[in-house]
């Protein structure tokens, strides 16, 4: 409940700063929004992308779009609005408009074909995980969090996080073969 009050307060302060056109206050509040919701936006992006670099690109694009929209969009619910922007930014990044692929990019070399096949296998294997197992893997592998950090983010004990991660890795090894994972 405290988080909702904090979110509402931040949202109200941001709307007030926008209404008064106080640029310095808007900039400070946007930085606060970034600090508070960076993790949430990264989590949304992790559903679309697997590399930390792609996830960070999506986070940057999300907050850029958020800042650009402040003057003309009336949002209701800051967290929901940021998630909506993140989903749209990720979708746009996954399916860029008006971008043609060269024959080289389509055909590629053997390594590219193997990477695509492996990516499809990995995606299928990840879909066999429970939500909590998936989260544990994403926090550990993509965000390179310790078990303690991941557990805190997930709101569970460190031992429970380790157990979820190990179970998920066993499932992934079974799906992908013994060479996968730690």
- Round to whole Å and give the CA distance between 82 and 80: 5
**pLDDT surpassing 70 at residue 171:** yes
Identify the domain containing residue 114 by its residue range. 104-176
Name which residue leads in pLDDT, 47 or 6. Answer: 47
pLDDT tens, residue by residue, 7-34: 557 888 988 888 888 889 989 999 999 9
Q: 146 and 117 in contact (C-beta within 8 Å)? A: no
CA dihedral (69, 72, 78, 79) in degrees, to 10, reads -40
- Mean pLDDT across the stretch 115-137? 75
> Domain end: 71, 94, 117, which one?
94
Q: Same domain for 78 and 148?
A: no
- Round to whole Å and give the CA distance between 156 and 78: 26
Pure H helices in the chain: 2-19, 23-46, 52-69, 78-94, 103-107, 110-126, 131-137, 147-154, 158-176
Q: Same domain for 34 and 80?
A: yes
Model confidence at 96, pLDDT cuts 50, 70, 90, reads low
**pLDDT surpassing 70 at residue 114:** no
**What proportion of the chain, given as a percentage, has pLDDT over 70?**
77
- pTM (two decimals): 0.51
- Mean pLDDT across the stretch 122-140? 83
**pLDDT surpassing 60 at residue 124:** yes
> Domain end: 59, 94, 129, which one?
94
Model confidence at 157, pLDDT cuts 50, 70, 90, reads very high
The pLDDT value recorded for residue 58 is 92
Q: Which residue has the tokens 């936006």?
A: 41
Q: Same domain for 121 and 61?
A: no
* Residue at 114 is within a domain: yes
Return the exposure string of 65-87: e unless at least 16 CB atoms fall within 10 Å of the residue's CB, then b. Answer: bbeeeeeeeebeebbebbbebbb
The pLDDT value recorded for residue 120 is 65
Q: Same domain for 7 and 67?
A: yes
The pLDDT value recorded for residue 181 is 45
Q: Of 35-44, 82-91, 106-115, which range is least confident?
A: 106-115
Q: Would you mind telling me the total number of residues written for the chain in this entry?
A: 182
Average pLDDT, rounded, for the chain:
78
């Amino acid at each position: 409940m405290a988080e909702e009050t904090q979110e509402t307060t931040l949202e109200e302060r941001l709307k007030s700063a926008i209404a008064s056109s106080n640029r310095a206050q808007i900039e400070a509040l946007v930085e606060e929004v970034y600090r508070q919701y960076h993790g949430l936006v990264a989590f949304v992006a992790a559903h679309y992308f697997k590399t930390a670099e792609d996830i960070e690109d999506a986070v940057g694009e999300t907050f850029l779009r958020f800042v650009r929209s402040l003057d003309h969009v009336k949002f209701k619910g800051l967290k929901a609005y940021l998630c909506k922007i993140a989903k749209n930014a990720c979708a746009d990044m996954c399916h860029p408009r008006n971008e043609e692929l060269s024959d080289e990019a389509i055909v590629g070399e053997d390594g590219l074909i193997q990477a695509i096949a492996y990516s499809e296998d990995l995606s299928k294997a990840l879909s066999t995980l429970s939500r909590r197992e998936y989260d544990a893997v994403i926090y550990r592998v993509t965000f390179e969090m310790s078990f303690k950090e991941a557990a805190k983010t997930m709101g569970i004990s460190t031992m429970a996080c380790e157990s979820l991660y190990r179970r998920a890795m066993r499932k992934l090894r079974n799906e992908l073969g013994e060479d996968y994972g730690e």
